[in-house]
Structures are given as C-alpha cells and as structure tokens.
Structure 1
Amino acid sequence: MGVRFVGIDPNTGTANSPTVWVDDADGTIMIQGFTASESQITQVLAAGHGPDHENTIPAHETVIHIPARMVPILRKACDDAERSQLH
C-alpha cells in the first residue's frame, strides 16, 4: 500500500503545514512539524527521557512540535497504524 496521507494542520494555508502520514506496510507514523526552538529543546532535556535512557537528542533524531489542534489527526494516525499491524 505504501505511505498514506492522514491529515494536515487545519489552520495552515499553503505553507508551514504540519502533516501526518502512516506507512500501511509497517505501521510507521511520520510527522512533519515545526523544528523545536532551543528553549523547547532545553525544556525537553530538563524533563528527561525516562529510566535507562541517555538524556540526549542524538544527531540522527530531532524534536518537533505540532499544534494541539492536530490531536484528532494524531489519534487517527495511531488508530490507522495499529490497524495496519493487524493484517
């Protein structure tokens, strides 16, 4: 099936559009969002990464942020990804 568009920030125009996709083959959720600011990254690092994890953001990873108004889109992506794993 491949990658399928799930939804886009409903309050964006034609640019700066946080977007969510699901790969139906493996259930991966992909998210395009705004790059986190240095202040947000500092807050993320202060919050920690849980037990047994280094409190760093590796070079091959990034922190993004998306608007809370996209929660319904993320829920749909999670449901879709979970369903793809049931097949």
Structure 2
Amino acid sequence: MSLQFIGIDPQTGDDESPTVWVDRDAQELVLQGWKPSAELEAECAATEVPGHGKGIPDGEAVIRIPARMVDMIREACDAFERPDVR
C-alpha cells in the first residue's frame, strides 16, 4: 500500500490527529477520525438507507471528521481526478 499524505486537522493536539490520505493502489481515500459516541454510532446503525439494511457491517466503522477538514478531503478527491495535484 502506498499512502499519499494529504493533510492533518490544523487544530490537532498532541492526543488527536484526524488525517486524510490517498491510497492510489487501492483507489481509496483513507480517513482517520474520532470514534463516535455510543449514541451517535447507535443512531447511524439504526438509520435505514434505501437499498441497504440497518446496522454497521463488520469491517466498517463510523468515524467523525471535523468540518474544517473539508478542503483536505476535496484535495484528496482531486488527487485521484488530477494526478498533477500534490
């Protein structure tokens, strides 16, 4: 796996580090974020989305990313669409 670092939460402290990477080999965005509260995770699991059942499948996780990182996520998307970015 070859991760391309895109950015880290600019307000990160020593104990937190929400981060965005691109994995070009797998063609995936890799996001590190905060674990949700039990209440939020339960709410996500209970929400039924058309075409999908309720619950969070094994191998998947709910994470939280601060809104201030939207530009980094856009940059990661651009990295796939325009290889000259970063």
Interval containing the TM-score (normalised by the shorter chain): 0.7 to 0.9
Percent identity of equivalent pairs: 46
Higher strand residue share: 1
Q: 1:57: which partner in 2? A: 56
Q: Within 2, Cα distance between the matches of 1:27 and 1:8?
A: 20
Q: Within 1, Cα distance between the matches of 2:76 and 2:15?
A: 22
Q: Which has the higher contact order (CA 8 A, sep 6+)?
A: 1
Q: 1:70: which partner in 2? A: 69
Task: State which drifts further: 50-59 or 63-72.
Answer: 50-59
**Deviation string, structure 1 residues 9-61 (Cα, Å, up to 9, x no partner):** 0001232100010012342100000011111113323443x222111101211
5+ long unaligned stretches in structure 2: none
Number of aligned residue pairs: give it.
Answer: 83
Task: State which drifts further: 18-27 or 29-38.
Answer: 18-27
- Structure-2-length-normalised TM-score: 0.82
Q: Within 1, Cα distance between the matches of 2:21 and 2:79?
A: 10
Superposition RMSD in Å: 1.9
Q: Within 2, Cα distance between the matches of 1:14 and 1:55?
A: 36
Determine if contact 2:44/2:55 at 8 Å carries over to the other structure.
Answer: no
Shift of 1:79: 1.2
